[in-house]
């Protein structure tokens, strides 16, 4: 199974093009106003047109209501919804049924007890994204540039495809993959020069490093 590389929080045509040309498998667009990566619907529409099926488009929302998801469907028609809030299992089922798109559920991780939610989500979600649990005073539940203890996933028994995220960069992505055995990686802060400002060279370096570690793991 080929490694999936997701670059999240893209917000300009130039950096989106860099990610696509560098071979990102997924490009993530954030629809969460407190985020420095938040996109308007019109910007999402514009960037979505640029992707032209060269990667999967991921719309990232946090406890969004149906009207918000409807608007995102109209503007972007994402390949995947990434649900990064406190969405219940029932809400995941509801969203899948109403919008007919795969859902990737973000699971915040700080301690082993955070994995107790997996059986419920794994019964409905199409993919799991493990991310570092945000501090209580954080203004957003993700995209904070901090890793979690990847060893917590060492003995994971999950039948569903999963990705690892949280504080990844070109320097640690190989180790994250080695420890977690994840089938995908996701990054935002680690490819930025400032919050919300994606750096083309960092995007390229991350994708190169992820691909290089994939080659090592299949030998």
Ligand X SMILES: O=C(O)c1ccccc1NCC(=O)[C@H](O)[C@H](O)COP(=O)(O)O
Residues at the interface with ligand X (CB under 6 A) = 8-9, 28, 30, 32, 35, 37, 60, 62, 84, 131, 140-145, 165-168, 186-190
CB of 219 to ligand X, least distance (A): 27
Between 44 and 141, CB nearer to ligand X:
141
- Known active-site residue 8: yes
What's the gap between Cα 22 and its chain centre? 17
Contact 64, 31 (CB under 8 A): yes
Catalytic (active site) residue 66: no
> What is the b/e burial string over 132-149, where b = at least 16 CB atoms within 10 angstroms of the residue's CB?
bbbeeeeebbbbbbebbe
**Residue closer to ligand X (CB basis): 87 or 131:** 131
Please list the residues that pair with 104 across neighbouring strands.
82, 127
Select which of 8, 25, 169, 186 is catalytic.
8
Q: Which of 72, 85, 8, 14 is nearest to 44 (CA)?
A: 72
Nearer to ligand X, 145 or 219 (CB): 145
CB of 212 to ligand X, least distance (A): 19
Q: Which residues are catalytic?
A: 8, 131
């Amino acid at each position: 199974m080929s490694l999936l590389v997701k670059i999240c929080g893209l917000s300009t045509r130039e950096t989106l093009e860099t990610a696509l040309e560098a071979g990102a498998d997924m490009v993530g667009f954030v629809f969460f106003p407190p985020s420095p990566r938040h996109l308007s619907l019109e910007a999402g529409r514009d960037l979505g047109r640029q992707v032209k099926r060269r990667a999967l488009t991921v719309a990232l929302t946090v406890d969004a209501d149906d009207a918000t998801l409807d608007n995102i469907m109209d503007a972007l028609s994402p390949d995947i919804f990434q649900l990064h809030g406190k969405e219940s299992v029932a809400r995941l089922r509801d969203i899948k049924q109403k919008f007919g798109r795969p859902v990737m559920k973000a699971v915040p991780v700080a301690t082993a007890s955070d994995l107790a939610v997996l059986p419920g989500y794994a019964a409905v979600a199409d993919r799991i994204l493990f991310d570092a649990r945000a501090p209580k005073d954080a203004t957003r539940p993700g995209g904070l540039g901090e890793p979690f203890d990847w060893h917590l996933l060492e003995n994971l028994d999950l039948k569903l495809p999963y990705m690892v995220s949280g504080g990844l960069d070109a320097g640690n992505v190989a180790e994250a993959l080695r420890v977690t055995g994840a089938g995908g990686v996701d990054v935002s802060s680690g490819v930025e020069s400032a919050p919300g400002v994606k750096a083309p060279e960092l995007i390229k370096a991350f994708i190169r490093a992820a691909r290089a570690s994939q080659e090592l793991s299949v030998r």
